Structure 1
Amino acid sequence: MFNQGYGMPQGQGMPQMGMGMQQPMGMGMGMAQQGMNMGMGMAQQGMNMMGGMMGQVDPMAMARFNALDSDHSGSITVQEIQKAYQQFKFSAQSAKLLLQAVSDKTFIDAQTFPIFDQYIMSFYNVFMQCSMGQQTIQAPQVQQAVMMLNFKVEQPTLMALVQKYDADKRGVEFGEFMSICAYLLITSKLMTKFDQKNAGVLTLDMNGLQALGLWFL
């Protein structure tokens, strides 16, 4: 399933990726409109998909990964990813946040790349639907977008995230929206990691708090 990105809205063109990368196959508008199983379950879903990929990497994804891995080291940096997706105009920091959400590594390898790519495609698809083709969205559209992605977040928290990541206060660009989504993925991942009793509540001692804080440095 990793060779398939989410389809673009009708009338919206997918930017061409750099460095020889090909546009993923579309899955149609219905996926985003129905909402994707993200939120609390999305981090676990991502880990399950990552586990299923071990030993069986999609050939198309591997070809795209190899095109980026020019030194054949078996890994690519977030800076290289930023350049490869330069038409999406997201920062290296946004890419780093998304990497934290999908992997415990500081680089992207062949197993990490397909799910990393799929998240970017799904975020971009929803962003373009909510922006109606514009370069930015406002707070109400951000709320609509995260609802379409089925993230669970209270409105005051979401508005605080908009204030944090909308650096120039001119509207949320895609890279800033990607950071918001990556942050929500990270918190979902941490909830899964630390809430071992699945109670929906975190109880941390000092060591736990220090370990938790490392994710946001």
Structure 2
Amino acid sequence: MAYNPNQYGGYQQSPPPPQQQQAYGSPHMAGTPQNRYSQPPPPQQQQQQYGYGAPPPPQQQGYPPQNYARPPPMQHAPPPGADPQLWSWFTAVDTDHSGQLTVDELQRALVNGDWSPFNIETVRTMVNMFDTDNTGTIDFQEFAGLWKYIEDWKRCFQTFDVDGSGSIDRNEMKNALRTFGYNLSDRFISVLIQKFDKYGHGGQTGKGDVTFDNFVQACVNVKTLTDSFRAFDTDNDGWIQINYEQFLELVIRQKA
């Protein structure tokens, strides 16, 4: 198995964002200077009222789409030191009032710029990243970190969504990955778009782009696979030779 850095630029360039708690591809919460995702993006043109030029359905008027979430009514007072607005979101999403958010609860609360629900796999990845006590759910403190993560990715997404369409096309994806240090071929970009175009499955012809949630998932997957590959590329030349079990190990690491 080989990856030729001389052909496509390799991964010797600056890598994507640092990990938080081994979360591949996640923006670093501390906002270190080399962290591309957590730095403020270049000034963008003012978005339309409902974001990315996609107005919400009539029953959803008034939603703040820039938060990628459904607005809850204010609940009871937040804990001392907690952000009241963030607490109101948490308590509204916590439909069973358990003090913990499940993957399903969080997925029902998150929407893309086109008002489609978040990919459940993206939500599960986010929960796993911030579930510090390994309960399979997230409490309010963990939710605060996850929300910051979403906001950082949102700013990153808006930076590369240059036409304000609410989705990332091939050229925008190529530009994003190149900025993160992955100078990949057009063929690979097309494969990536096809994989993460939510409208291009089940025999349907997709739109040739990816929504916010799948953009996050695609970038995380590229970084996770690259990190797994790099673990075997001990001389950092972009080439590896592995046997069958090592290949299985590489894949299993990526699934972990």
TM-score by length of 1: 0.58
Report what 2:70 is aligned to.
18
Give the share of equivalent positions with the same residue, in percent: 20
Summarize the alignment of residues 110-125 of structure 1 with structure 2, pairs less than 5 Å apart. Answer: 110-125=140-155
Deviation digits for residues 157-213 of structure 1 (CA, Å, limit 9, x no counterpart):
54432221124231222232122123245447x65xx959x9769989949945852
Query: Which SS does the other structure have where 1:118 is aligned?
Result: helix
Asked whether 1:129 is paired with 2:156, we answer no
The structure-2 alpha-carbon separation of the partners of 1:64 and 1:186, relative to structure 1 and needing over 3 Å to count, comes to farther
Summarize the alignment of residues 195-210 of structure 1 with structure 2, pairs less than 5 Å apart. Answer: 195=231, 206=245, 209=248
What is the count of residue pairs matched by the alignment? 179
The structure-2 alpha-carbon separation of the partners of 1:84 and 1:214, relative to structure 1 and needing over 3 Å to count, comes to same
Decide which structure has greater helix share.
Answer: 1
Deviation digits for residues 49-101 of structure 1 (CA, Å, limit 9, x no counterpart):
xxxxxxxx961245533332233323212222222222543222221233345
Query: Which SS does the other structure have where 1:86 is aligned?
Result: coil
Deviation digits for residues 26-47 of structure 1 (CA, Å, limit 9, x no counterpart):
xxxxxxxxxxxxxxxxxxxxxx
Which of 1 and 2 has greater Rg? 2
Any conservation in 1 of the 2:167–2:210 contact (CA below 8 Å)?
yes
The structure-2 alpha-carbon separation of the partners of 1:164 and 1:101, relative to structure 1 and needing over 3 Å to count, comes to farther
Report what 2:252 is aligned to.
213
Any conservation in 1 of the 2:95–2:105 contact (CA below 8 Å)?
no
CA distance in 1 between counterparts of 2:172 and 2:46 reads 19
CA distance in 1 between counterparts of 2:95 and 2:172 reads 38
Report what 1:38 is aligned to.
none
Match of 1:59 among 78, 82, 86: 82
Report what 2:77 is aligned to.
none
Report what 2:105 is aligned to.
80
Alignment RMSD: 4.3
